Amino acid sequence: MAARIASKVAALVALFAVLATHGARAEPVSYNASGAARQLLGSRGAWLPAKATWYGAPYGAGPDDNGGACGFKHTNQYPFMSMTSCGNEPLFKDGKGCGACYQVRCVAQNNPACSGQPKTVVITDMNYYPVAKYHFDLSGTAFGAMAKPGLGDNLRHAGIIDMQFRRVPCNHRGLTVNFHVEEGSNPVYLAVLVEYANKDGTVVKMDLLESNSRYWTPMRRSWGSIWRLDSNHPLKAPFSLRIKNESGRRLVANNVIPANWRPNTNYRSFVQFT
C-alpha cells in the first residue's frame, strides 16, 4: 500500500510539473455518470478525445505491485502484459469499469513521436486527479506503445498529451473467467475477485448459490472487481457463481468454488462470454 501511495504521489508531482510547463490547469470536470457509460458502450468504432498521462516505471505496468484499484493481480503478465491504465470516473465508474478494454492512439498532430496506431489497454486502476472529461493515466509501457518505433522515451518525456480512444471488446484468448477467493475469506464472509471476462470485460452483478440451495444470494461490490458476501450463517460449499456483464449477458459457473476451498486461491471456471 505504501509503495502504491508513493507511486501515485510521484505521478501527481510529475503531472503538476508538466501542467505548469504547458500552462494547463487541472480543473474539476463535471459529467453525467450514466450518460457517460451509455456513450462509451455505444462508441465502439467512434474515436473520442481524451488526455493521456503515465505513471510508474517507464516500462512497467503502473503500480509497483502490478495490481491496482480494481484488485487485478499480475498485470505485468498475460493477458494484461503491462498494457494497463487508470481511468477517471467516467471510465472507472466506481469499479464498474474494471476490466473494460479500450483502443488508444495519438497522432503526429498530438506529438511528433506519435505513431497513430491503435493499441489496446485494460482499465485496472483508478485515476484520482483527472485533467479532462476522459483521462487515461496509462502505464509507462502503454503510453510508450503509442509512439513510433524507438520513440517511446520521447513520447513519455512529453508527460501529458491529447489522444483518442474507443471502447472495444476484450478478447483474452485461451482464458475462461477466473474467480480468486481473497485473503480474509472465512465461513461467514466470502470475497471473490472476477478476472478475464471477455466481450465487455466488466461484471455489473454477481450472485452466489450455496450447496443444496435453490436460491441465489446477491453479492455486493466490495471494491474494484471484488465482490463480497457477509452471511448470517456458515456458507455451505461448493458454490456456484452467476455473473452479468454490462450488455446484460449472464454466465453461470456451476460448483466453481469447491467444498475444500481456501483463501488466496484461484478457481478457474469453464465459462466465458462469447
Higher pLDDT, 79 or 8: 79
Q: Domain-by-domain residue ranges, the chain?
A: 2-168, 178-268
Quick: pLDDT tens for 34-93: 455 555 655 567 899 999 999 999 999 999 999 999 999 999 999 999 999 999 999 999
| 42 and 57 Cβ atoms separated by less than 8 Å | no
What CATH number does the domain located at 2-168 have? Answer: 2.40.40.10
In the sheet with 178-181, reading across from the earlier edge strand, the strands are 220-223, 226-230, 189-195, 178-181, 265-268
Task: Say what the pLDDT of residue 45 is.
Answer: 76
| Distance, CA of 90 to CA of 31 (rounded, Å) | 8
| Distance, CA of 205 to CA of 214 (rounded, Å) | 18
178-268 topology per CATH: Immunoglobulin-like (2.60.40)
Using the structure block, give the residue that is written with the C-alpha cell 503515465.
54
Give the residue ranges of DSSP H helices in 23-162: 33-41, 89-92, 140-145, 152-158
Residue 27: pLDDT band with limits 50, 70, 90: very low
Residue 221 predicted with pLDDT over 60: yes
| 15 and 24 Cβ atoms separated by less than 8 Å | no
Residue 122 predicted with pLDDT over 90: yes
Whether the model clears a pTM of 0.75, i.e. scores above it, the answer is: yes
Distance (Å) of CA 131 to CA 16, 29, 109, 110, 137: 10, 8, 20, 16, 10
| 179 and 257 Cβ atoms separated by less than 8 Å | yes
Residue 79, preceding peptide bond in cis (omega within 30° of 0): yes
